[in-house]
Amino acid sequence: MTVQPAPLRIVVADDQASVREGLVLLLGLLPDIEVVASAADGQQAFDLVAQHQPDAILLDLHMPVIDGIETTRKLTELHPGVAIVVLTTYADDTSILAALGAGACSYLTKDADRAEIASALRSAVSGLSVFDSAVRAALLAAATRNAPAGQAPSALPEMLPDGLTRREAEILAMMARGMTNPGIAAELYLSTHTIKSHINRIFAKTGSADRAAAVRYALDQHLA
């Protein structure tokens, strides 16, 4: 007899009642998703996450009482195990980078359909970041606009030690330069949740007990 996995438990937060109720209805029809609560503002969202301890929250950015960025920051600090997926009308690079820097895993616009939203929630819980096409275009434009003329990225050795991936080596080098997790996340257009996952793997592969030890490893291995 095959045991079915437990459904994904989520909170939906949006100040527009019609949007919020529509999301609750649509996502609630999926057999592997359970909407445990819905919130009309950032404070309610935070309180409901504390109460229900869901796997993920689907969060609008611009909400009353506490906005989505600050809610994301508080949730990341106090409930780091809850994956945060932003669903908003705003696709400007300032909003996107602020959300990712605060700890959001994924960022979708409200043009996303139910299947895309559900997929983003499942991926975020697994530690993967998802961005829809409008968000990817905004990030690419920002990267092109902000890149210094003629500056090439630092070269990494062709052969990396201890099974490090190139992404892990890149993050390790940025750690060695003194960059914080939010700073690395903003630079690489990833969520802080994803950066933390990479850093945990870096610690395991390099035998580092903490950030200082990882930096020493990076210097010893000429990765920074």
Greater confidence (57 vs 3) lies with 57
What pLDDT is stored for residue 173 in this prediction?
A: 87
Q: Which of 176, 158, 160 is nearest to 224 (CA)?
A: 176
Greater confidence (3 vs 26) lies with 26
Q: Which of 22, 49, 19, 55 is nearest to 37 (CA)?
A: 49
What pLDDT is stored for residue 152 in this prediction?
A: 45
What pLDDT is stored for residue 137 in this prediction?
A: 78
What pLDDT is stored for residue 151 in this prediction?
A: 45
What pLDDT is stored for residue 145 in this prediction?
A: 60
Please tell me the least confidently modeled range out of 8-17, 100-109, 151-160, 187-196.
151-160
Q: Which of 29, 36, 32 is nearest to 11 (CA)?
A: 36
Domain 161-220, architecture per CATH: Orthogonal Bundle (1.10)
Instruction: Specify the fold of 8-140.
Output: Rossmann fold (3.40.50)
Q: Which of 48, 51, 99 is nearest to 73 (CA)?
A: 99
Give per-residue pLDDT as tens, 110-165. 999 999 999 999 988 987 788 888 887 777 676 556 554 444 445 677 788 899 99
Residue 208 has pLDDT above 70, yes or no: yes
- The 3-state DSSP class for residue 34 equals strand
CB atoms inside a 10 Å sphere around CB 196:
17
Tell me how far apart the alpha carbons of residues 211 and 174 are, in angstroms, rounded to a whole number: 12
Give per-residue pLDDT as tens, 27-83. 999 999 999 999 999 999 999 999 999 999 999 999 999 999 999 999 999 998 999
Give per-residue pLDDT as tens, 172-199. 988 887 788 888 888 888 888 888 899 9
CATH fold match for the domains 8-140 and 161-220: no
Domain boundaries, the chain: 8-140, 161-220
